[in-house]
Amino acid sequence: MKFFGWRMVFTGLTIEFTVVGFLFYSFPVFWPYLISELGVTESQLGMVSAFYFIPIAILAIIVGRALDKYSVKNIMMIGAVIYAVGLFSLSFINSYWLLLTIYLTILALGSVMMGNLAVSKLISNWFDKNAGKALGIAAIGISFSGVALPLIVDPLLDLVGWRNVYVIFASIVLFFILPLIFITVIDDPKTVNQVKDGIKIDKEEEPLPQEITATDLISQKVFWMISLAFAFQFMSMMGVLTFLPVHASKMGLEETWHLLGLPVKQYVFAYSLAAFGGVLGKILFGYLIDTMKAAYPSMMAMFLQAIGIFGITYFNEPNIFLLSAFLFGLGFGAATPLMTTCYLRTFGAHNLGKVRGIASPIVSPLQPIGVLVTSILIGFQDTYFVAFNIMGCLALVAVILASQIHEPKKI
């Protein structure tokens, strides 16, 4: 029988594409239209992405525990319906407060139930030896959405209007993603007489690792080192990525190119190029973490992120700026699969949902702080120079913290 694990990976990739792509990578492309119609500012729109992580931090604790106990497939399907309703609701908004409310309630709940947390749990049920590679491939959907969607959405906004684009997003989730989950997702390989990685072993299968308590978890230094290292990496990433298209425009990348017959603004291309770096980063570092200690690829990815941030801060020559955006993406793109693999190796698949959930109040709140810091500083200075330098330094702090990630010795 053909191993079904890779089917879970590519289903997860597709789901990640729609969750992160529709919520985040497409969002800055909507900004000029939202600013014009709703009368909002760049800082206010940046805060939408920032505040979104507050309910996520709370919901992840509850959903993470549920994913360890109940059907991942059922939770993902319910989440897909809720997420589609949220996207459809965006097409009717007429104020900034409605936009913020929908992001913080319906979209937050739907995305956490069907997004990266659920996908990571599903894949960890199917993989052990190749977990880093599998998680990296699945997470390609996150960054690939940043490559493709801005290039597609930008001209689509002019053709059908921003409200109809959200209707299209909702329809894709409801009529494609929901049936895909129903048809392809299998909670656990045991239910179809398969084993993790598709590799049969001669000895008896090892028992599930002992369930860890919240008290035991937060008492372990390695839990805090993993959580804080990636919290600072995500904080640095969000403080730059959210504003990258606007920053690129202000740096002079205003020329319009034509790619595959589509008009593409140079600053939109810079944004997509960073996401393309993220695609490659997930593949590269997903492979590396399966072949070396977790701390090393984590440190490399965080350092590349810092170099990229400093590059787009100090250079406005288009080629150097675009190269820096690519390096930035190469680094931050690896963050999600590396973090999940670090938790998986340290605490086991059986505890992954709980560990990710308990870590969420540590990791998630720092992400909006990055956006908040950048938003406040540009409000005072109308420049990203100081804010982006701070974000680059935070990525270097993440490197130092990641150097302290020590995996338990396997007996």
Question: What are residue 262's DSSP bridge partners?
Answer: 259
> How high is the pLDDT of residue 262?
62
Q: Which residue has the tokens 């309630």?
A: 105
- Residue pair 66/353 in contact (Cβ under 8 Å)? The answer is yes
Question: What are residue 257's DSSP bridge partners?
Answer: 264
Whether 115 maps to a domain, the answer reads: yes
φ, ψ dihedrals at 377, nearest 5°: -65, -40
- For residue 323, give both structure tokens: 């190269």
Tell me if residue 145 falls in helix, strand or coil.
helix
C-alpha distances (whole Å) from 377 to each of 14, 29, 52, 120, 409 are 36, 22, 20, 35, 45
Is pLDDT of 207 > 60? no
Q: Which residue has the tokens 């659920």?
A: 118
Is pLDDT of 409 > 70? no
> How high is the pLDDT of residue 375?
78
The CATH number covering residue 303 comes to: 1.20.1250.20
Whether 353 maps to a domain, the answer reads: yes
Which of 332, 337, 230, 336 has the alpha carbon at shortest distance from 276?
Answer: 332
Question: What are residue 263's DSSP bridge partners?
Answer: 258
- For residue 301, give both structure tokens: 């990815």
Find all residues with CB under 8 Å of 287, minimum gap 6, and list them.
Answer: 132, 133, 136
Sign of the Cα torsion 304, 310, 312, 315 reads: negative
Angstrom distance (rounded) from CA 344 to CA 332: 19
pLDDT tier at 411, thresholds 50, 70, 90: very low
Angstrom distance (rounded) from CA 156 to CA 261: 14
Whether 194 maps to a domain, the answer reads: no
Whether 196 maps to a domain, the answer reads: no
pTM of the model: 0.76
How confident is the model over 277-334, as pLDDT tens digits? 988 898 888 888 888 888 999 999 999 999 999 999 999 888 899 999 999 999 998 8
**Kind plus residue range of the DSSP H or E element containing 45:** helix 42-69
Find all residues with CB under 8 Å of 56, minimum gap 6, and list them.
Answer: 108, 111, 112, 360, 364
C-alpha distances (whole Å) from 404 to each of 74, 195, 216, 286, 296 are 37, 33, 19, 20, 10
pLDDT tier at 118, thresholds 50, 70, 90: very high
- Residue pair 232/304 in contact (Cβ under 8 Å)? The answer is no
Whether 66 maps to a domain, the answer reads: yes
Number of folded domains in the chain? 1
Angstrom distance (rounded) from CA 19 to CA 141: 9
C-alpha distances (whole Å) from 56 to each of 38, 108, 112, 147, 339 are 25, 6, 7, 25, 17
Question: What are residue 358's DSSP bridge partners?
Answer: none
Domain coverage including residue 174? 5-188+213-402
How confident is the model over 149-193, as pLDDT tens digits? 887 888 899 899 999 999 999 999 999 999 999 999 999 898 888
pLDDT tier at 363, thresholds 50, 70, 90: confident
Angstrom distance (rounded) from CA 102 to CA 156: 23
Angstrom distance (rounded) from CA 276 to CA 273: 5
Whether 205 maps to a domain, the answer reads: no
Is pLDDT of 208 > 50? no
Whether 411 maps to a domain, the answer reads: no
**Mean per-residue pLDDT over the chain, rounded:** 87
Whether 208 maps to a domain, the answer reads: no
Tell me if residue 335 falls in helix, strand or coil.
helix
